[in-house]
Amino acid sequence: SAVISQKPSRDICQRGTSLTIQCQVDSQVTMMFWYRQQPGQSLTLIATANQGSEATYESGFVIDKFPISRPNLTFSTLTVSNMSPEDSSIYLCSVGDRGRNFAEAFFGQGTRLTVV
Amino acid sequence: LAKTTQPISMDSYEGQEVNITCSHNNIATNDYITWYQQFPSQGPRFIIQGYKTKVTNEVASLFIPADRKSSTLSLPRVSLSDTAVYYCLVGDLNGGTYKYIFGTGTRLKVLA
């Protein structure tokens, strides 16, 4: 199974600034994803982080706002750009791997972002 | 990706069996059904996965009827620590996608 480390675990940022969130996996994985979870809500998929190419964004999310890097099979970053209070959420990294079950998606603990 | 529908919330008492049903009418032939549990301030955690009939592990059972248009997660003898949000997810994991679209989830509250 994959172990995911996210940094930072939480941050308070000023509006108009940017924050880069790091996701480190302890093994090489094919698929990496970024989700957002607003307070009291379900998870919303932002994008698929593709190794060596541009990320694939879901409807409602754009590269200028959420640039993503995936330089190798164990690491990815998500940047939340030009932040506003509406960006206050938990951001989670997820990876796909074959666990002890047929297939699993593993999630990091998340980054709790507060924009003031 | 198939859309899932679950009850928004449920209450139960300690020691009872809890059954959470999920509807996935548009499930595709290659889709698997997976349930995740999420505690506050944590990422979702895998509970159980199945394709058809019944699957049981150390924490739960998953019942899937022949038409696969719904599934039921069964938690035996719940405790206070089972209070969490439970998500039913459907995806073509055999294809290696691992990409999930989350529904609303079911917020389970276990009462003493």
Residue A8: cis peptide before it, omega within 30 degrees of 0: yes
The secondary structure of B28-72 as a DSSP string is: -TT-EEEEEEE-TTS--EEEEEESSEEEE-SS-EEEE-TT-SEEE
Cα atoms in the Cβ-side hemisphere of radius 13 Å centred on A23: 33
B94 pLDDT exceeds 80?
A: no
Contact A105 B105 (CB under 8 A): no
A102 pLDDT exceeds 60?
A: no
The per-residue pLDDT for B2 is 63
d(CA A23, CA A104): 17
Which of A78, A105, A98, A63 is closest to A11 using CA atoms? A78
Which range scores top for mean pLDDT: A43-57, B5-19, B34-48, B87-101? B5-19
Contact B99 A101 (CB under 8 A): no
Burial, A57: exposed, middle or buried (Cβ in 10 Å; 0-12, 13-18, 19+)?
Answer: middle
Mutate to test the interface with A, among B46, B48, B101 (most CBs of A within 10 A): B46
**B43: nearest CA partner in chain A:** A109
* Percent of chain A clearing pLDDT 70 (strictly above): 94
The type of residue at B73 is L
User: A9-46 burial, b if ≥16 CB within 10 A, otherwise e?
Assistant: eeeebeeeeebebbbebeeebebbbbbbbeeeebbbbb
Mean pLDDT of A90-111: 81
**Which residues in chain B touch residue A42, judged by CB atoms under 8 angstroms apart?**
87, 102-105
Residue A103: pLDDT band (50, 70, 90) is: low
A36 pLDDT exceeds 80?
A: yes
The per-residue pLDDT for B76 is 94
pLDDT per position as a tens digit, B4-17: 999 999 999 999 99
**Which residues in chain B touch residue A102, judged by CB atoms under 8 angstroms apart?**
32, 49, 93-94
A98 pLDDT exceeds 70?
A: no
Q: What is the mean pLDDT of chain A?
A: 91
